[in-house]
């Protein structure tokens, strides 16, 4: 099969823990794709679902004011109504480079 034009790749090196490598191998086997493809798909999903800015965390609140259960104290307690685990979830994907 001839290579596709978008198949130009830049090789990189990634250091994984044993658990991360086992998870990568398992996903590749289950999905029937290469380990590189698992990493590419993971990056695409992360880029697609990650909040782009601070204000994106409030997208879930848009339209909730038509509901009887909508918060009436949003201006005063906005931090309580924002996803409290956003920072914890996003920090899982931040790693120090060595």
Averaged over successive runs of 10 residues, the pLDDT of the chain (98 residues) comes to: 62 94 97 96 87 72 70 76 58 55
d(CA 53, CA 91): 15
18-52: string of b/e by CB count within 10 Å (b at 16+)? eeeeeebeebbeeeeeeeeebeeeeeeeeeeeeee
CATH topology of domain 1-49: Arc Repressor Mutant (1.10.1220)
Distance, in Å, from the CA atom of 24 to the CA atom of 39, rounded to the nearest integer, reads 8
Tokens in use for 55? 């204000």
Check residue 27 and give its pLDDT: 97
pLDDT value for 1: 41
Q: Where are the domains of the chain?
A: 1-49, 52-92
Q: What is the pLDDT of residue 72?
A: 78
Question: What does pTM read for this prediction?
Answer: 0.49
Q: What is the pLDDT of residue 44?
A: 93
């Amino acid at each position: 099969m001839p290579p596709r034009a978008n198949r130009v790749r830049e090789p990189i090196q990634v250091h994984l823990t044993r658990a991360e490598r086992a998870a990568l191998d398992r996903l590749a086997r289950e999905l029937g794709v290469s380990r590189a493809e698992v990493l590419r798909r993971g990056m695409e999903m992360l880029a697609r679902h990650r909040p782009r800015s601070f204000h994106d965390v409030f997208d879930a609140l848009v339209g909730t004011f038509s509901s009887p259960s909508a918060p009436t104290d949003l201006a005063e307690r906005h931090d309580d109504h924002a996803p409290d685990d956003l920072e914890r979830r996003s920090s899982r994907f931040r790693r120090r480079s060595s």
